[in-house]
Amino acid sequence: MVADPHARYHDLMNDCITIDGARVGVLMGSASDWPTMQKTSDTLGDLGIVHECNVVSAHRAPKRLEAYCGSAADRGLQVLICAAGGAAHLAGVAAALTHLPVLGCPMKAWSTEGLDSLLSMAQMPRGIPVGTLAVGSAGAVNAALLAASIIALSDQDIRDRLLAFRATQSDATFPLPGAPGHPAS
Ligand code: RP5
């Protein structure tokens, strides 16, 4: 019988919600990050990318984070998206625990408009990179789109959906009723 390499993680993983077939794992330092990170989940959903979302704080639940990241690749996840605020170590620690690409979403927490989180994620020391996005909602949406770009390298369906999304975005027009030369309504 072959020993399960992740046996030591089982109890800790019981505290996480996992989804069969998930390609992206979205992690947050706190449930208070969810209103922003719901935009990541919505964007992944719009692109048909199966994903799972969990609160796993690097500071408050480091052993659970090790279990999640240590088993992520073998469970079929291809990208991790990590959101945290303040001294935002989640993405960096996750990146240290897996070879999967880790995208960081800095949250506006209780001070400095998210600059603390941005620098915590972006200023990684050489050797363990975190692909850091913008603070807040823009970064949350872009993390999903960047994850889609990564997955699209080896998945034609996701590539087609991503290109369709971009075409729709390019085709959008922006009427400005009342502005010079624009129709009144
Ligand atoms: C971080 O601290 C979380 O990612 C969150 O952005 C921030 C505040 O967390 P709570 O105090 O709301 O749980 O760990």
pLDDT tens by residue, 154-168:
999 999 999 999 999
For 123-135, the pLDDT digits (tens) are 999 999 999 999 9
In the chain, % of residues over pLDDT 90 = 91
How far apart are the CA of 35 and the centre of ligand 1, in A? 12
Ligand 1 in reach of 30 Cβ (< 6 A) = yes
> What is the distance between the alpha carbons of residues 5 and 18, in angstroms, rounded to a whole number?
18
Residue 7 has pLDDT above 80, yes or no: yes
Cα dist. 18→25, 50, 129, 150, 177 in Å?
A: 9, 11, 25, 21, 47
Residue 6: predicted pLDDT: 82
How far apart are the CA of 30 and the centre of ligand 1, in A? 5
Residue 113 has pLDDT above 90, yes or no: yes
The encoded tokens of residue 34 equal 């969810």
Residue 84 has pLDDT above 90, yes or no: yes
The set of residues, in sequence order, having a beta carbon less than 8 Å from that of 36 and lying 6+ positions away, is 83, 105, 107, 136, 137, 140
Phi, psi of 135 (to 5 degrees): -70, 135
Please state the pTM of the whole predicted model. 0.95
Q: Whose CA is nearest to atom 13 of ligand 1?
A: 30
Residue 81: predicted pLDDT: 99
